């Protein structure tokens, strides 16, 4: 099966991305060589309990990551997905990434199942802000939190419902740059297979799904994806 052909012929495509698609933009992934979870413990930084214990530490970490994202630029992988979307009857981009590189590359209606690093809801009144410096709610004075989904939390219901519906109706799921170890996001791959859609994976390394997908393409997203859109 030729991936380029599959992509060109599919009427309805869903893409699921993970940290790997932003790796070539200089944003560290979580697992694997150079991954954030090699350097930091998720239970100290990315759980509701961690934030309750030490909000200052958690905010310092997210402020640092905001800075990394702000300095990064979308890469050829992000851009190729914009080209793949063009001309499709239905196209949905689901990302586990909290960065905004898909949007800055030109993708629209991105479903952020793990939230956004620039979103900042108040922990008390729920008012939503965008990237404050002081992390205090102007309406009620309470502490704000990063607008991301932490371990032990579930994706926003509306976003998740849209993601599931899109996957159920997809003819083709493209899985790019995710270790596919974090649920429920990784479950979308099984859902696609159960719904009868073809699945193509792009990753330099093997994942738990590599043997279950129709095509497992080993390589960096910024090299593989542009090859598949050449001439379309
Ligand atoms: P991971 O860091 O777990 O996995 C990144 C994947 O990208 C790995 O499988 C790498 O092999 C692959 N990769 C590395 N460079 C790549 C490249 N240039 N092109 C394509 N793939 C590449 O990141 P996610 O799967 O996104 O959640 O992690 C899922 C969730 O776990 C994250 O959203 C985050 C994390 O903990 C929370 O913080 C709650
Ligand atoms: Zn408030």
SS3 per-residue string spanning 93-117: EEECCCCCHHHHHCCCCCEECCECC
pLDDT in tens, the chain (232 residues): 899 999 999 999 999 999 999 999 999 999 988 999 999 999 999 999 999 999 999 999 999 999 999 999 999 999 999 999 998 999 999 999 999 999 999 999 999 999 999 999 999 999 999 999 999 999 999 999 999 999 999 999 999 999 999 999 999 999 999 999 999 999 999 999 999 999 999 999 999 999 999 999 999 999 999 999 987 7
Active-site annotation holds for 114: yes
- DSSP-derived secondary structure for the chain: --HHHHHHH-SEEEEEE-THHHHTTT---SSSTT-HHHHS-HHHHSSHHHHHH-HHHHHHHHHHHHHHHHH----HHHHHHHHHHTT-SEEEEEE---S-HHHHHT--S-EETTB-TTEEEBTTT--EEES-SS-B-TTT-PBB--SBPPTT----HHHHHHHHHHHHT-SEEEEES----STTTTHHHHHHHHTT-EEEEE-SS--TTTTTSSEEE-S-HHHHHHHHHTT-
Tokens 């350097």 correspond to what residue? 39
Separation of CA 189 and ligand 2 centre (Å): 37
Q: Model pTM greater than 0.75?
A: yes
Tokens 């793990």 correspond to what residue? 114
Q: Are 80 and 4 in contact (CB under 8 A)?
A: no
Give the mutation target among 29, 39, 181 for probing the ligand 1 site: most ligand atoms within 8 A of CB: 29
> Looking only at Cα atoms, what is the longest distance across the chain?
57
Whether residue 220 has its Cβ less than 6 Å from ligand 1? yes
Whether residue 40 has its Cβ less than 6 Å from ligand 1? no
Whether residue 46 has its Cβ less than 6 Å from ligand 1? yes
Q: How far apart are CA 78 and CA 95, in angstroms?
A: 11
Query: What Rg do the C-alpha atoms of the chain give, in angstroms?
Result: 18
């Amino acid at each position: 099966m030729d991936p380029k052909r599959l992509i060109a012929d599919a009427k309805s495509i869903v893409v699921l991305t993970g940290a790997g698609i932003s790796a070539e933009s200089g944003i560290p992934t979580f697992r694997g060589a150079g991954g954030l979870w090699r350097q930091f413990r998720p239970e100290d930084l990315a759980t509701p309990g961690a934030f309750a214990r030490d909000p200052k530490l958690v905010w310092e970490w997210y402020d640092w990551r905001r800075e990394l994202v702000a300095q990064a630029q979308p890469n050829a992988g992000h851009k190729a997905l914009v080209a793949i979307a063009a001309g499709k009857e239905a196209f949905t981009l689901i990302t586990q990434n909290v960065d905004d590189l898909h949007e800055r590359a030109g993708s629209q209606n991105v479903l952020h199942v793990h939230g956004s690093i620039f979103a900042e809801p108040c922990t008390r009144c729920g008012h939503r802000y965008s990237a404050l410096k002081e992390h205090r709610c102007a309406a009620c004075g309470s502490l704000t939190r990063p607008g991301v989904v932490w371990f032990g939390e579930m994706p926003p219901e509306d976003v998740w419902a849209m993601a599931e519906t899109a996957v159920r109706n997809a003819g083709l799921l493209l899985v790019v740059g995710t270790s596919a170890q974090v649920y429920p996001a990784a479950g979308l791959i099984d859902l696609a297979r159960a719904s009868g859609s073809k699945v193509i994976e792009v990753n330099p390394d093997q994942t738990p799904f590599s043997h279950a997908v129709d095509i497992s393409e080993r390589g960096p997203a910024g090299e593989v994806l542009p090859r598949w859109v050449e001439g379309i």
